[in-house]
Structure 1
Amino acid sequence: MKVKLQDQRKVVILALVCGLLLYIVSQWFRSSTSSDLIISGYPVLMLLSGFAAAAACIGIYNQSLLFQTPKLTLRRVLLTTLFLLVGLFQLVHIVLFAEEIPNGAMIESELSLKMMTLGSVICAVGLLFIYTVSEKEIALPRKFLLFSGTLGGFVILYTLGIQNWSGLPKLLEEDMLSYTFTQFHFLVGVLYGVSAIVLFYKWKKNKDGDLPYILYGTLSFLFAECYWVSATMVNDINLLMGLLSNCIGYYFIQKGLYTSVVDTPFLKQQAAEARMNYIAHHEDVTGLPNRRRLSQRLKAMMDEAIVQEQLVGVLVLNINRFKTINDSLGQQAANRVLHQVGQRLKHSSLPCEEVFGLGRDEFVIAMTDFYTTDTALRRTRSILQLFEKPVMVDGNEYHLTLGIGMAIFPHDGESPEEIIQNADTALHNAKEQGLELNRYAHAMQMKAQERLQLENDLRKALDRGQFYLMYQPQVNLASGLVVGMEALVRWQHPQRGSISPAEFIPLAEESGLIVPLGEWVLRQACKQNKIWQEAGYRKLCVSVNLSMRQFRHSHLLDNISGILNETGLEPAWLELEITESMTFDKDRAFEQLRKIKEIGVHISIDDFGTGYSSLHYLKDLPIDRLKIDRSFVNEVMEDRNNAAIVSTITSMAHHLQLKVTAEGVENEEQLVFLRDQHCHEAQGYFFSKPILPSDFETKFLRDVDKPAG
Structure 2
Amino acid sequence: MVDKAIERCLALSQAARTQQGEALASTLAELDKALAEVRSSAASAAPAEPAEATLALDLTGYLTSWNRSAEALFGYAAEEVLGQHILFLYAEDDDDGNIAELFFQQDDTVTEVRRRRKSGEVIWVKLAMSLLKDEGGEASGIQVRLAPVSEPLSDQDKINLHARIIEDSDQGVLITDSTERIVSINSAFTRITGYTPGESLGQTPDLLRSGVHDADFRAKVRSAMKGDGPWRGEIIGRRKNGELFPQSVTISAVRDDEGRISHTFSLFSDISVHKDAEARMQRMANYDTLTGLPNQCLLSQLMTQALTEARRSHEHGALLVLEIGRLGAISDTLGHDVGNELLTAVGRQLRHVLRDADVLARLDGNRFAVALLHIEKREHAAIVAQKLAAALEAPVQLAAHTLQVRVHIGIAVYPEDGFATAELIAHADVATSKAVQAEAAFLFYSEEMNQRAKEHLRIESELRLALQRNELQLYYQPKVSLRSGRIVGAEALLRWRHPVRGMVSPGVFIPVAEETGLILELGNWVLEEACRQVRAWKDANLIMPPVAVNLSARQFDRRLPERMADVLQRHQVQPEQIMLEITESLLVGGAENVVSIMNELVAMGLALALDDFGTGYSSLAYLKKFPISTLKIDRSFVIGLPYEENDCAIARAIVTMAQQLRQEIVAEGVETAEQMSFLRDLGCDQLQGYLFSQPVPAEDFERMLREGKRLAFTVR
TM-score band, normalised by shorter chain: 0.3 to 0.5
Q: Which has the larger radius of gyration?
A: 2
- The TM-score with structure 2 as length reference comes to 0.39
- The TM-score with structure 1 as length reference comes to 0.40
